[in-house]
Amino acid sequence: MALRNAYLAMCRAFPGGAEAMAAAIGMPSAAALNNRMYEVKGQRVHVDTALAMQAASRTTLFAEAIARESGGTFVALPHIDEEIDNDELLKKFSQIVEQSGRLARVHTDAIEDGHLDEVEEAALRKVAATIHQRVEELLAVTVRVYGKKSEDGDGR
């Protein structure tokens, strides 16, 4: 069900909706795309089609759905165009510390009554996902600044 929701959301995110998405990814019609999304008569959206939909919609919805289905969290890595230095690394560390403090506050509030409800769990997961993303960003920036340089001068 999560995958279908991702497919539908990618169509909504694409200008022109499902009809335009179908044309953009080479499907003959929106009906053909819908048949795959709703698995009519055993049809399915193939991974390469889902990736094409994701690229066309300029989202990460398919990757996020796959991560959730796999019991994980999708973390988008930053696209780094500008020069990066130690100040940027310090900023990333500060964001991690700040979010860790936020997690501690949310956690304390959530378990104060000895019970964790769905809203409290969602709040904890949201802060945790932010921390995961910040750690991955820190690593990406660190590799960019200090990683082994390739022949063309770029990081790894």
Here the tokens at position 7 are 């497919």
Given this model, what pLDDT does residue 74 score?
Answer: 86
Of the chain, the percentage scoring pLDDT greater than 90 comes to: 67
Residue 88 confidence (pLDDT) = 81
What pLDDT shows up at residue 156? 47
pLDDT for residue 122: 94
99: closest CA among 51, 134, 61, 56? 134
Determine the pLDDT at residue 152: 55
Residue type, 75: V
* 8 A C-beta contact, residue 145 and residue 85: yes
Q: Which stretches in the chain have pLDDT values below 50?
A: 155-156
Residues ≥6 apart with Cβ < 8 Å to 85: 145
pLDDT of residue 89: 87
Task: State the pLDDT at residue 80.
Answer: 67
